[in-house]
Amino acid sequence: MPARAATTGVVLCGGRSLRMGRDKSLLEIGGRTLLERAIAVLDAQADEVLLACGPAERYEELGRPLVLDAFPDGGPLAGIEAGLSRARTEWIAALACDMPRAEPSIFAALLDRAVREGLDVCFLRTARGVEPLCAVYRKTCLEPVRAALGKGERKVVSFLRVEPRVRAGEIELEPGLAVNLNTPAEFEAEVGS
């Protein structure tokens, strides 16, 4: 498995939180914001953690390097492109800020499988399907991701269709680890659990 120094963490925190109605990255669970929780998960796995904060600088107060979207309205795929562009490492570990149950062990398992099998990307799979916002991406994904964005694609896995030579894999872990919080009801259910 790659050493910490071979991995850059990228927290995807540039969304508009439309369904939540307020900036979900700043919502707190157990005294920490969702953004702080995601940073802590990636700190355990990566040498550096970048904040893919969308088209404008946000969260400077956290003292982390910020990466901005180069593709307007590109969604999380633009955040992944920004992270891959800025990373000086072979791998990035990408995590959406709205996944409070994610653990460092997920990224260790993703990297292990990706390296062992010579993959370019490895996703977490859940009962709902592939979770591309909890995944590891090799630098070899950068040009396919840029090509997908250049064609107007916004779905994160669209780059796999644009460049079919990208080798992708996935792992299945405990289903509850990949909970996304997109609405006030989902957030309240998580706080109450």
CATH architecture of 4-192: Alpha-Beta Complex (3.90)
Of the listed ranges 1-10, 55-64, 100-109, 121-130, the least confidently predicted one is 1-10
Residue 12 pLDDT = 96
Strand partners, 8: 48, 92
User: How many beta carbons lie within 10 A of that of residue 81, not counting itself?
Assistant: 25
Q: For residues 1-38, b (16+ Cβ closer than 10 Å) or e, as one string?
A: ebeeeebbbbbbbbbebeebeebbbebebeeebbbbbb
Query: Domain residue spans in the chain?
Result: 4-192
Percentage of residues in the chain with pLDDT exceeding 90? 67
Does position 17 have pLDDT exceeding 80, yes or no?
no
Structure tokens given for 167: 């080798």
- How sure is the predictor about 22, in pLDDT bands with cuts at 50, 70 and 90? low
Does position 170 have pLDDT exceeding 70, yes or no?
yes
Task: Determine if residue 71 is left, alpha or beta; phi over 0 gives left, psi from -120 to 50 gives alpha, anything else beta.
Answer: beta
pLDDT digits over 73-104, tens only? 999 999 999 999 999 999 999 999 998 888 99
Residue 31 pLDDT = 87
- How sure is the predictor about 2, in pLDDT bands with cuts at 50, 70 and 90? low
pLDDT digits over 104-138, tens only? 999 999 999 999 999 999 999 887 788 999 999 99
Task: Determine if residue 59 is left, alpha or beta; phi over 0 gives left, psi from -120 to 50 gives alpha, anything else beta.
Answer: left
